[in-house]
Amino acid sequence: MALGRLCNSDPMHWWGTWATEVLPRTAVAGSVIGFILVNTTMPQVVKTSDGKMPKLTRPMWMNMCFRITPVAGGLKTAQYAVMREMKLSLDQVCHPGLSTMLSFGVVGTLFQSVIYNTLISEMYKVYTGQVKEQPSLKDLVRGVKPGIIWCFGRECFSMGGGLYLGPFVKSRIAASLADGKGGHSIAGQQISEGVLRFGSGFLSGACTALGTQWMHNVSLMAGRLAAHGQVEGAPYYTAAACSTAYKELGMSLFWLNYPQRMCLIAGAVALLNMVDIFHKPELRML
């Protein structure tokens, strides 16, 4: 019997199929992107620290990688699983492009806020020599608040927009590289479907990353203000983070940290296009 929604299927069979068809795709994407996220975000935190953090040393880099990467990878895997479910459910009531951006905006905001603010907090703890405390549920909820408005816009239009634009970019590239024999080639070299999917995702992600870079830098600033315990603008720091970021960074607010973040966003969109976390769209819970 064909599987569909969980409520209309045999639970054991449904979860078994989900574990073999969906979970590996979200786990691969989450683990790889979580690792990239940690390594590309650490230099950005230093740049937006207003000199409060010195240059990253190799021991510091390794220490932060071991402490944060497993958490980031697990959270990203969970994020893509939840986001997939939300997007496929919203597809039933709205345009696929809107469902993609909304699902990334809502779900990505929650998970990314926790990841980024946890990373920022951990870096300041390591630099100041404070002993790490086990975060409570209240701490995790508090970690979502700083810069949540900017985080929503960033996730909605960077990752969500990149994934939505990817197929359009792919069709344009495929049309320009068509060899007249049903394939695609450059200078006589055949281009596989996988390369097309990855390349188009990378290009669209690079563009949406640039358009949302200012929101990302403001989000990082909100995390910094929260880590320092600033009272003004707490707990969301919506206006305080924006004004502080522009005051300290000026017009560079719109491009500072772009190379590192471009690798993350463009690489993530390309990878998600490759692994296809929306595989078997009929396999959804709701």
> Which pLDDT band holds residue 131 (cuts at 50, 70, 90)?
low
Predicted confidence at residue 270, as pLDDT, reads 93
> Is 260 within the bounds of a domain?
yes
Give the span between the Cα atoms of 74 and 70, in whole angstroms.
6
Q: Is position 183 within any domain?
A: no
**In 145-192, which residue ranges form alpha helices assigned H by DSSP?**
148-155, 161-176
Identify whether 184 is part of a domain. Answer: no
- Residue 284 within a domain: no
Q: How many domains does one find in the chain? A: 1
Rounded distance between C-alpha atoms, residue 154 and residue 209, angstroms: 8
- Report pTM: 0.77
User: For residue 202, is pLDDT > 90?
Assistant: yes
User: Is the predicted pLDDT of residue 1 greater than 50, yes or no?
Assistant: no
Residue range 134-152: mean pLDDT, rounded: 76
Confidence band for 133, pLDDT divided at 50, 70 and 90: low
Which residue segment(s) compose the domain that 250 sits in? 7-131+138-178+189-275
Residue 247: Cβ within 10 Å count:
10
Does 160 fall in a domain?
A: yes
Q: Closest by alpha carbon to 145, among 125, 118, 124?
A: 118
* Structure-block tokens of residue 206: 């690079």
Does residue 106 lie within any of the structural domains?
yes
Q: How many residues does the chain have?
A: 286
What pLDDT, on the 0 to 100 scale, is given for residue 87?
93
In a domain, 94, yes or no: yes
- pLDDT, residue 238, reads 93
d(CA 22, CA 36): 22
Considering only CA atoms, which of 219, 77, 207 is closest in space to residue 147? Answer: 219
CATH number (domain holding residue 238): 1.50.40
Residue 45 lies in a domain: yes
Q: Of 49-58, 100-109, 239-248, which range is least confident?
A: 49-58
114: exposed, middle or buried (Cβ count in 10 Å: 0-12, 13-18, 19+): buried
